Structure 1
Amino acid sequence: MPSFADLGLAPYLLQALEELQFVQPTPVQEQVLPLTLDGQDVAGQAPTGSGKTAAYGLGLLQQVDVKNDAVQMLVLVPARELALQVRDALKKMGKFLPNLRVAAFYGGHAFGEEKASLTQAPHIVVATPGRFLDHLERRTIIPNQLKSLVLDEADKLLELGFQDELVEIVKRLPRRRQTLLFSATMSDKVLELIRKNLTRPRVINLGEDEDRLPENLTLLGHVGPIELKPAALLHILRQPETGRALIFCNTRERCMELARFLQGREVAAEVLHGKMPQPERDKALLKLRNGSSQVLVATDVAARGLDVTLLDTVVQYDAPDKADGFQHRAGRTARAGAAGTAHILATPKEQSHVKKWPVADSIKWSDMKAPKLPPAAPKAPKPENVTVHVTAGKKDKVSAHDLVGAFVNVGGVAREQVGHIEVFDYYSYVAVPRGQVQDVVQRLLGAKVKGKKVRVSIVQ
């Protein structure tokens, strides 16, 4: 097996990979990286979790000229969550490349914030097509020095209706460029996209998404009438090993109904669906990540691109229509070598549909366990931690370390009780014990972090 050094990577990338504990290239990295470094166009079919972000990302990073203040690399992705995930991965892999600038642009927040960040052009842009086209039309980004274009999750880009935006964006890019395309499936529409936009591409096929599931994933199926599903779900969530859980429903109405049901039975549940404003979606995800909630009830908007580490359990409350939907949902747990469990609650009719898919062969089926439901509680449950919002972030040179210092030294929280911290460009979130939160907010009233006066408020 070749090493990353054998693939011709620069020392600054090898140093970052060593720190990230990337020991051996995955098959997609082994095949794609040499082609990317050679400047060839690539059309890759690769399943989720195969390491394709590093496969194209390392090649982009090696070809960036950090002395040139221009957008040189563009990665188009279907969702805001994936844009942030790819941006962060590129930053980590490019950690030892001096003055590297990587930016993520996406809808759902003020355009002005992104425009203000463009006083110096980023070397690499990761963006959703609609927002990137906005920048092109307003001439806040002029991509006349672009070297490489990546279309990541091309099947999803087309499924979400970005065809027109892709055509318009490609028209405005330099013709002499490298183009890389990655897709979980190679539908006729994806093949047409390849034909129109790639020049003599090398084709890499490592199997469809639906052929692969994480190695450490346990698949459990529970069969029974639809009226037993709520009690069966509650039974699963009350098992100690269930931990942090993501529950999938097919409609947003079902998500909201199910979250209310769980909250009434003392389960700290949040909702996530595509009609929610972006800040509300961010907040729901954040609460799951930092332990302010145990459960996130979501539509398939959460099936791709979400960065929820240490997710113990997935429950498919409604059976999906297609095998790839089943795979994407189940694959949100047991990531990066960790163990996880994916449950599916199915009526006999749903079970017979699911059994047609090869990906479902390893499901261990049993009858639903549905103990008698307890009466609904008068109030929603209160988790141990509460999330607070701080009006300072990366653009203010504030780090997680700075926030820990403020919450310990000024807020009076014991260091070991400061929970999960997430720092964004203009604000941050910190988890603190519920019993102390009012006192913490009061103590930090008018306090300064890194010389900036901040406001601290409880996230409801």
Structure 2
Amino acid sequence: DRMLDMGFYDAIEDIISKTPPRRQTLLFSATYPVSIKQLASKFMRAPQQVKAEAFHSDDQIEQRFYEISPEERMDAVTKVLAHFRPASCVAFCFTKQQVQETVDHLTAKGISAVGLHGDLEQRDRDQVLAMFANRSTSVLVATDVAARGLDIDSLDMVINVELARDSEIHIHRVGRTGRAGETGIAISLVAPSEAHRAQAIEQLQKTPLNWDQLDNLKPQSGGPLLPQMSTLCIAAGRKDKVRPGDILGALTGEAGIPGAQVGKIAIFDFQAFVAVERGIAKQALQRLNDGKIKGRSLRVRIL
């Protein structure tokens, strides 16, 4: 639905204008605001509405709410991460400026974080998503629009850096964790001016919110919150006929890297990403740059 604010309505109108009068039209949306109702009334005739309740079991997702002052929001995010130490976390923000502020703050604190928002070029978006998917960065900081359609496996935690302005969007955010029978935790930071949003969530969920105190969050031992993997970016991709097997073969063959130390490989049109264990990343980089992939010398760098 938020895509309508970005010119998506015009695209829908153009496509439907080229379809026959007798047709079947199905519209899908995570939420159903007035803009979607208006679109449905224009392009559909007496449509049937099917609604799936988006509530989450307390057995799968633990939700905690923390009241904060606006000036301690960034430090609160750091406290949450230092206490729970998730292997993977999506931190939701409302604006791209807030995304960048959060990434800068976490990076300064020694926490591996990358940002995802609507202004990223496709190439940069591919890079960010590849790094998060292959576990070479711990925290993905994203706006709701940029995070639409993401399919993230085994997400340990969701942090609402700012509480969603729509209670249904909150449910959608929280549902990113605790999937496929796994458990997850969702942390929401609530400034006094956002109290009415928390009340709306409570009314929608029909259950009291679980409030906690920031002072109860103590840093856990274990050193810096750094991922186990690092990502190597290769300056060739699908258009260059590079396949995952070519990259794996170059690493485990000529480069001599054990296959167990190689993680996910993602191939895009003009670049490819491969995760390797952090401790051997520089060694793998050197050997790939000195050697060849599919018979060619290709530029490789560490992200």
Which TM bucket (shorter chain)? 0.7 to 0.9
**Whole-angstrom distance in 2 between the partners of 1:393 and 1:200:** 47
Is contact 2:93–2:143 with CA below 8 Å preserved after alignment?
A: yes
Indicate yes or no: 2:98 matched with 1:254: yes
Is contact 1:441–1:456 with CA below 8 Å preserved after alignment?
A: no
Indicate yes or no: 2:213 matched with 1:213: no
1:109 aligned partner: none
Q: Any idea what the Cα deviations from partners look like across 1:250-303, whole Å, max 9, x if unmatched?
A: 222222222222112211111222222222222222222222211122222344
1:165 aligned partner: 11
What is the DSSP-based 3-state SS (H/G/I as helix, E as strand, rest coil) of the residue aligned with 2:19? coil
**Whole-angstrom distance in 2 between the partners of 1:252 and 1:369:** 29
TM-score w.r.t. the length of structure 2 is: 0.83
2:191 aligned partner: 347
Report the alpha carbon displacement of residue 415 of structure 1 after superposing the two structures with TM: 0.9
**Whole-angstrom distance in 2 between the partners of 1:299 and 1:419:** 27
**Whole-angstrom distance in 1 between the partners of 2:275 and 2:108:** 24
**Whole-angstrom distance in 2 between the partners of 1:321 and 1:307:** 23
What is the DSSP-based 3-state SS (H/G/I as helix, E as strand, rest coil) of the residue aligned with 2:260? helix
Is contact 1:420–1:431 with CA below 8 Å preserved after alignment?
A: yes
AA at the equivalent of 1:356 = A
> 1:5-154 to 2 correspondence within 5 Å?
none
What is the DSSP-based 3-state SS (H/G/I as helix, E as strand, rest coil) of the residue aligned with 1:293? coil
**Whole-angstrom distance in 1 between the partners of 2:125 and 2:57:** 26
Indicate yes or no: 2:282 matched with 1:423: no
AA at the equivalent of 1:319 = L
**Whole-angstrom distance in 2 between the partners of 1:396 and 1:277:** 21
AA at the equivalent of 1:340 = G
AA at the equivalent of 1:299 = T
Is contact 1:319–1:346 with CA below 8 Å preserved after alignment?
A: yes
Indicate yes or no: 2:283 matched with 1:439: yes
Is contact 1:214–1:331 with CA below 8 Å preserved after alignment?
A: no
1:117 aligned partner: none
**Whole-angstrom distance in 1 between the partners of 2:144 and 2:32:** 21
1:294 aligned partner: 138
**Whole-angstrom distance in 2 between the partners of 1:372 and 1:400:** 42
> 1:266-285 to 2 correspondence within 5 Å?
266-285=110-129
AA at the equivalent of 2:72 = L
Is contact 1:392–1:454 with CA below 8 Å preserved after alignment?
A: no
What is the DSSP-based 3-state SS (H/G/I as helix, E as strand, rest coil) of the residue aligned with 1:307? coil
**Whole-angstrom distance in 2 between the partners of 1:302 and 1:362:** 30
**Whole-angstrom distance in 2 between the partners of 1:192 and 1:231:** 41
AA at the equivalent of 1:353 = R
Indicate yes or no: 2:168 matched with 1:324: yes
Aligned length: 295
Is contact 1:411–1:441 with CA below 8 Å preserved after alignment?
A: no
What is the DSSP-based 3-state SS (H/G/I as helix, E as strand, rest coil) of the residue aligned with 1:166? helix
Q: Structure 1 273/183 Cα, relative in aligned 2: closer, same or farther at 3 Å?
A: closer
**Whole-angstrom distance in 1 between the partners of 2:244 and 2:197:** 47
Higher relative contact order (CA 8 A, sep 6+): 2
Q: Which moved more, 1:358-367 or 1:395-404?
A: 395-404
Report the alpha carbon displacement of residue 370 of structure 1 after superposing the two structures with TM: 7.3
| Residue 40 of structure 2, aligned match among 168, 190, 194 | 194
2:231 aligned partner: 387
What is the DSSP-based 3-state SS (H/G/I as helix, E as strand, rest coil) of the residue aligned with 2:27? strand
Report the alpha carbon displacement of residue 372 of structure 1 after superposing the two structures with TM: 9.7
Q: Structure 1 205/384 Cα, relative in aligned 2: closer, same or farther at 3 Å?
A: closer
| Residue 183 of structure 1, aligned match among 6, 11, 29 | 29
**Whole-angstrom distance in 2 between the partners of 1:186 and 1:268:** 35
Q: Structure 1 447/413 Cα, relative in aligned 2: closer, same or farther at 3 Å?
A: same
| Residue 334 of structure 1, aligned match among 178, 183, 190 | 178
AA at the equivalent of 2:277 = P
**Whole-angstrom distance in 2 between the partners of 1:347 and 1:199:** 43
**Whole-angstrom distance in 2 between the partners of 1:381 and 1:221:** 23
Structure 1: tracts of 5 or more residues without a match: 1-154, 374-379
Report the alpha carbon displacement of residue 320 of structure 1 after superposing the two structures with TM: 2.0
| Residue 242 of structure 1, aligned match among 83, 86, 91 | 86
Q: Which moved more, 1:347-356 or 1:291-300?
A: 347-356
**Whole-angstrom distance in 1 between the partners of 2:93 and 2:34:** 29
What is the DSSP-based 3-state SS (H/G/I as helix, E as strand, rest coil) of the residue aligned with 1:231? helix
Is contact 1:389–1:427 with CA below 8 Å preserved after alignment?
A: yes
AA at the equivalent of 1:335 = R
AA at the equivalent of 1:206 = K
| Residue 359 of structure 1, aligned match among 184, 189, 204 | 204
What is the alpha-carbon root mean square deviation over aligned residues?
3.0
Q: Structure 1 192/406 Cα, relative in aligned 2: closer, same or farther at 3 Å?
A: same
**Whole-angstrom distance in 1 between the partners of 2:151 and 2:83:** 24
TM-score w.r.t. the length of structure 1 is: 0.57
Report the alpha carbon displacement of residue 392 of structure 1 after superposing the two structures with TM: 4.4
Is contact 1:232–1:371 with CA below 8 Å preserved after alignment?
A: no
> 1:369-380 to 2 correspondence within 5 Å?
369=215
**Whole-angstrom distance in 2 between the partners of 1:454 and 1:197:** 53
**Whole-angstrom distance in 2 between the partners of 1:303 and 1:443:** 35
**Whole-angstrom distance in 2 between the partners of 1:163 and 1:268:** 37
**Whole-angstrom distance in 1 between the partners of 2:121 and 2:285:** 26
Q: Structure 1 165/455 Cα, relative in aligned 2: closer, same or farther at 3 Å?
A: same
Is contact 1:390–1:456 with CA below 8 Å preserved after alignment?
A: yes
Q: Structure 1 382/243 Cα, relative in aligned 2: closer, same or farther at 3 Å?
A: closer
Q: Which moved more, 1:385-394 or 1:342-351?
A: 385-394
